[in-house]
Chain A
Amino acid sequence: MTKSELIEKLSYSNNLLGKKESELVVNTVLEGIRNALIEGERVEIRGFGSFTVRTRDARDARNPKSGEVVRIASKKTAFFKTGKELRERVDKEAPGL
């Protein structure tokens, strides 16, 4: 499912929502999560999961072409931990039952 398919499904789910409103809602939700992560804040969505920012340590790597050792700076990344409900639903034997 792509973002535009999610937007479409959302607009079918609720007669208050046209395509435009659905698009605004999906973008507002994603932007909200993104802005919190930019601030280094944790985002917790009950039943779905939580997003946190994790720091990857600086490390030495090698340029595979030249063999030269290059230092890779420490960087931050978004980490997602699946919530209990979703983790159980994803691992169910027969989906949809």
Chain B
Amino acid sequence: MTKADLVERVYLKTGFSKKESAQIVETVFDLMKSTLENGEKIKLAGFGNFVVKNKATRKGRNPQTGEEIQISSRKILTFKPSQVLKSVINGED
């Protein structure tokens, strides 16, 4: 499934044109992206939480050469599915 399929669903459910539906779906993801970019978490009840986490600097190794390298600290995004989402994926209600 891609964004186009989500646009199609919104188009069928809302009565907006395809073009409008595409813009609206784009806006939904833009709003989520700018929220996360600012380091703010997103809690979607019944779906899951998106959280930006800080990773400390750590040592790594180039698997090809065996050379030790420093992996810089960074921010990463994690998604934790809600209990409801996990249950339905496992075929429970």
Chain A interface (Cβ < 8 Å from any Cβ of B):
1-3, 6, 9-10, 13-14, 16-17, 21, 24-26, 28-34, 36-38, 41-49, 51, 53, 75-80, 82, 85-87, 89-92, 95-96
Contact = CB atoms under 8 A, between A and B. Distances in A.
A79 B89 CA distance: 11
B12 to A, nearest CB: 9
A6 B25 CA distance: 12
Interface residues of B, number: 48
Given A30-B44, A78-B89, A96-B38, A6 B13 contact: no
B31 A32 contact: no
Interface of B: 1-3, 5-6, 9-10, 13-14, 16, 20, 23-25, 27-29, 31-33, 35-48, 50, 52, 74-79, 81, 85-86, 88-90
B75 to A, nearest CB: 5
30 contacts: A1-B40, A1-B41, A1-B42, A3-B45, A6-B32, A10-B27, A13-B31, A24-B13, A25-B14, A30-B47, A34-B85, A38-B88, A44-B2, A45-B2, A46-B3, A48-B29, A48-B33, A49-B79, A75-B86, A75-B90, A76-B90, A78-B79, A78-B81, A78-B85, A80-B78, A80-B79, A86-B33, A90-B37, A91-B75, A95-B39
